[in-house]
Structure 1
Amino acid sequence: MAAEERGEDAAGYAERPSPVLPGAVVWTKAADPSGGGSAVLPDGCMDLLWTEGRLFVAGPDTRAYAPGAPAPGRYVGLRFAPGTAPALLGVPAHELRDRRVDLADLWSGAEVRRLTARVDAAADPAAALELLAHERADRAPAPDPLLTRVVARLNAGHGVAETAAAVGLGARQLHRRALPAFGYGPKTLARVLRLQRALALARGGLGQAETAAVAGFADQAHLARDVKELTGMPLGVLLRVDG
């Protein structure tokens, strides 16, 4: 989903850019237990999430995640830019790939209980979660700026070999650096970022052939295959579900 600020939609979802965590997005959603949760599509990101009484982490996805019927209540999340969450969380991204993990499995249980109670008691849980992450980020190592360049180049449609050369790494070196930062290798990250470019174009009304060309697919059939493999749905069905 786009990172620009927008109002709450019909499903009770809203998001805004974080002013204190570069590249991060703060989002909120009111859960509707009467229906299944919407599929979460791969985007190269990791999220720190809160719902009353629980802090947990969503790792980087390689395929659509179907959450099932959520418990009633409000959910708040921080979606971190690709490659920026592992330093803050203190765990390599590939250990969380395609997983949802309680924060107490990563940090001390006593600390997580204290932090959970703090967010639970806040008048604005979204602001409290954002402050919690900001405080943690101040004590954590800074994300590797080289990997920020990798994300920018891959998201601009450059190939993996070309990107590796541009940042001064061999292909194997880049793969080794990518796993702990993104959760998977640069080829998978490039596919996921290209998927998100295509979805943004298609949601904006561009036809599928034009979307394929602009997003960097070989052709419309290539777009259709990638969308189905990464999301489990054809593009047309996915756009109707979004709508």
Structure 2
Amino acid sequence: MYEEWTSALPYVVAWRSVTPLGGAPKRILPDGCLDLIWQDGAVFVAGPDTTAQVGLPSPGSRHAALRFGAGTGPGVLGVPASELVDRRVPLDALWPAADVRAIAEADDPVAALTEAASRRWQGADRAMVALAGAARAGLPVGSVAERCGLSSRQLQRRSNTAFGYGPKTLHRILRLQRAVALARAGRPFATVSADAGYADQAHLAREVRALAGVPLSALLR
């Protein structure tokens, strides 16, 4: 069972899940976000991924979490996303142990996570919101720097802090998300490659395997 909904915090999604009996390993694709996760009483940060992560929690394992989009997570956590790339970090390595214990023992972990994040909320960086929006829409991310009055180097630095990687990597990751969504909607792969912004179907296949670790057909199964 998995469900998600819009959080009270801007650009944040709340989600929870329960691992079913006999569940298959789950492949989690990179999405340009980081997550603050409660799992069976343990609380940790799942940093922004550059490739798919595969895992299978124990049957009955429960998760409750916040997923921070538009680069909003690092301000809440107090560390740049570049320090968390492809890592799973216990929250008490970043926050006071007493604050983490209150979340771990909460009857409603999502509410506890939201309250704790709200106290530390730093707002959204307008340039990073624009960058995420451009990358998600398949627009040239280089134009974001000019619109926001930043140099390419400044945009790169702020993107590393907010997302864990630069604009080009963010663009690749969100293009993958767009392609998978189109394929799951039943579009032929040739149409997916054109509509998602790949040079051709071979380019789509290479990028999916590089970022997801398996062909697109395997993701759809």
Contact 1:59 1:98 in 2 (8 A): yes
- Partner Cα distance (1:81, 1:218) in 2: 27
Q: What secondary structure is seen at the aligned counterpart in 2 of 1:184?
A: coil
Contact 1:160 1:171 in 2 (8 A): no
Contact 2:2 2:15 in 1 (8 A): yes
Contact 1:63 1:229 in 2 (8 A): yes
- In the TM superposition, 1:109-148 aligns within 5 A as 109-117=97-105, 119=106, 122=107, 124-137=108-121, 141-148=122-129
Q: Counterpart of 1:13 in structure 2: which amino acid?
A: Y
* 2:17 paired with 1:17: no
Contact 1:36 1:69 in 2 (8 A): no
User: Given the alignment, which residue of 41, 46, 66 partners 2:34?
Assistant: 46
* 2:184 paired with 1:203: yes
Q: Which runs of 5+ in 2 are unaligned?
A: none
Q: Counterpart of 1:182 in structure 2: which amino acid?
A: F
Q: Which runs of 5+ in 1 are unaligned?
A: 1-11
Equivalent residue for 1:5? none
How far off its partner does 1:95 sit? 0.3
Q: What secondary structure is seen at the aligned counterpart in 1 of 2:26?
A: coil
Equivalent residue for 2:209? 228
Q: Counterpart of 1:74 in structure 2: which amino acid?
A: R
Equivalent residue for 2:45? 57
* 2:160 paired with 1:179: yes
Q: Counterpart of 2:3 in structure 1: which amino acid?
A: A
Contact 2:70 2:124 in 1 (8 A): no
| Count of paired positions | 221
- Partner Cα distance (1:93, 1:154) in 2: 18
Contact 1:46 1:79 in 2 (8 A): yes
Contact 2:13 2:66 in 1 (8 A): yes
Instruction: Give the direction of change, closer, same or farther, for the CA distance of 1:50–1:71 in structure 2 (3 Å limit).
Output: farther
- Partner Cα distance (1:33, 1:91) in 2: 37
User: Given the alignment, which residue of 31, 34, 56 partners 2:19?
Assistant: 31
Percentage identity across aligned positions?
A: 49
User: Given the alignment, which residue of 188, 198, 211 partners 1:217?
Assistant: 198
RMSD value, Cα: 1.7
How far off its partner does 1:150 sit? 1.3
- Partner Cα distance (1:40, 1:153) in 2: 23
How far off its partner does 1:71 sit? 6.6
- Partner Cα distance (2:53, 2:193) in 1: 24
- Partner Cα distance (1:203, 1:68) in 2: 22
TM-score with structure 1 length normalisation?
0.85
Q: What secondary structure is seen at the aligned counterpart in 1 of 2:43?
A: strand
- Please, which moves more after superposition, 93-102 or 147-156? 147-156
Shift >6 Å, 4+ stretches: none
Q: Counterpart of 2:119 in structure 1: which amino acid?
A: E
TM-score with structure 2 length normalisation?
0.93
Q: Deviations over 1:128-157 (max 9, x none)?
A: 3333322332xxx22211111111122221
